[in-house]
């Protein structure tokens, strides 16, 4: 079963119940590391989910906050509808597998995102359309190992993940820092193939949603664009909610 690198906002599938195992020592055996990685993969994953999200986009030129509702079903389907500000109210995105459509209420049209636009920004944020579509699993698609960086902190564990060969993953490697105590991620750093830092994801405000303890805030800081930042905040989230399949249809996309 595959899953998403983009768990944070992208998947928006808040997942797996979180076991509160405290690990005092650095895990040494492979099985233990495997367990941490699987838990990362499953952090936000669930059969279905619904959430209300606030997205703050900061650029050197402007700053704005979008409010939206997000539905997910399995790993294949995502539906997002923007509720504010007024100018964007009703704008919606539907993803089914690798395909994406945007609905624009102003012109009452549905637009299919072509493959050439997949690397473009989603609604002006630091997410690309591709971020919403691509699903990768650290456990299955990456090789990983525990590392100890020079500036390692006592209460964190560090994982270095490199994509397996032959996969269309743009990153050269990803460093993930998780809390030693509960293996909840603190940050992820994405590097390109030359080892340049491309973007940083910070996690924060661990909250309990549907009996799951997950970071409620994610901050995406692209390194190439100075002064740009996108902060995603879950206001509410329900995992394994009862969601109808007809949410994820073009007909629903069109309904205002």
Partner 1 sequence: MIFKIAFRNVFRQRRRTVLTMLTMFGGFTLASISIGWSDGTYSHIIDMFTRNQLGHIQVHSEGYLDRPSLYKVIKDYENVGKNIQSIPDVEAWAPRLYAAGLASVGEKSAGIRIIGLDPESENAATHFDKKIARGTVLNDANTHEALLGKGLARILRTTIGGEVVVVSQAADGSIANDIYAIVGIVDTGDEYSDQTGFYLTLQDAQELFALENRVHEIVVIASNLDRIGPLVGEIEDAVSNAALSVAPWQEFAKSFYNAMRADQEGMWISLFVIILIVAVGVLNTVLMSVLERTREYGVLKALGVRPKQIFGLVLTEVNIMATGSIIIGAGLGILINYLLSIHGISYPQSLTYGGFEFQEMYSEVNARSLIIPAITVIVSASLVATFPAIRASRTAPARAMRAH
3-state SS, residue 126: coil
From residue 170, how far is each of 46, 52, 132 by CA, in Å? 26, 30, 14
Residues binding partner 1 (CB under 8 A): 57, 59-64, 85, 87-88, 91, 102, 104, 106-107, 109, 111-114, 116-117, 120-121, 123-124
Q: How far is the CB of 229 from partner 1 (least distance, A)?
A: 13
Task: State which residue, 24 or 87, has the beta carbon closest to partner 1.
Answer: 87
Place of tokens 């590391």: 33
Q: Which residues pair with 204 in a beta bridge?
A: 217
Q: How far is the CB of 58 from partner 1 (least distance, A)?
A: 10
Q: How far is the CB of 167 from partner 1 (least distance, A)?
A: 25
Task: State which residue, 48 or 129, has the beta carbon closest to partner 1.
Answer: 129
Task: State which residue, 75 or 91, has the beta carbon closest to partner 1.
Answer: 91
Q: How far is the CB of 177 from partner 1 (least distance, A)?
A: 31
Q: Which residues pair with 221 in a beta bridge?
A: 200
Task: State which residue, 70 or 214, has the beta carbon closest to partner 1.
Answer: 70
Task: State which residue, 114 or 149, has the beta carbon closest to partner 1.
Answer: 114
CA 205 to mean position of chain CA atoms = 15
From residue 164, how far is each of 35, 47, 157, 192, 232 by CA, in Å? 19, 27, 22, 14, 29
Q: How far is the CB of 219 from partner 1 (least distance, A)?
A: 18
From residue 223, how far is each of 55, 100, 143, 178 by CA, in Å? 19, 26, 24, 21
């Amino acid at each position: 079963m595959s899953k998403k690198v983009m768990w944070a906002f992208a998947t928006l599938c808040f997942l797996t119940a979180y076991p509160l195992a405290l690990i005092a020592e650095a895990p040494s055996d492979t099985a233990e590391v495997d367990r941490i990685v699987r838990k990362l993969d499953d952090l936000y994953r669930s059969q279905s989910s619904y959430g209300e999200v606030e997205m703050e986009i900061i650029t050197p030129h402007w700053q704005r906050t979008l409010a939206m509702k997000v539905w997910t079903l399995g790993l294949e389907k995502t539906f997002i509808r923007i509720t504010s500000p007024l100018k964007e109210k009703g704008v919606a995105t539907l993803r089914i597998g690798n395909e994406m459509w945007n609905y624009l209420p102003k012109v009452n049209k549905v637009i299919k995102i072509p493959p050439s636009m997949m690397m473009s920004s989603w609604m002006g944020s630091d997410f690309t359309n591709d971020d919403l579509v691509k699903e990768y699993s650290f456990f299955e698609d990456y090789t990983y190992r525990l590392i100890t960086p020079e500036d390692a902190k006592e209460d964190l564990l560090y994982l270095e993940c490199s994509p397996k060969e032959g996969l269309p993953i743009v990153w050269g490697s990803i460093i993930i820092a998780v809390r030693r105590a509960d293996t909840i991620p603190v940050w992820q750093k994405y590097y390109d193939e030359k080892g340049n830092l491309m973007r940083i994801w910070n996690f924060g405000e661990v909250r309990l949603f549907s009996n799951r303890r997950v970071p409620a805030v994610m901050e995406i800081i692209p390194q190439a664009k100075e002064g740009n930042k996108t902060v995603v905040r879950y206001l509410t989230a329900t995992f394994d909610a009862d969601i109808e399949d007809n949410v994820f249809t073009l007909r629903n996309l069109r309904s205002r």
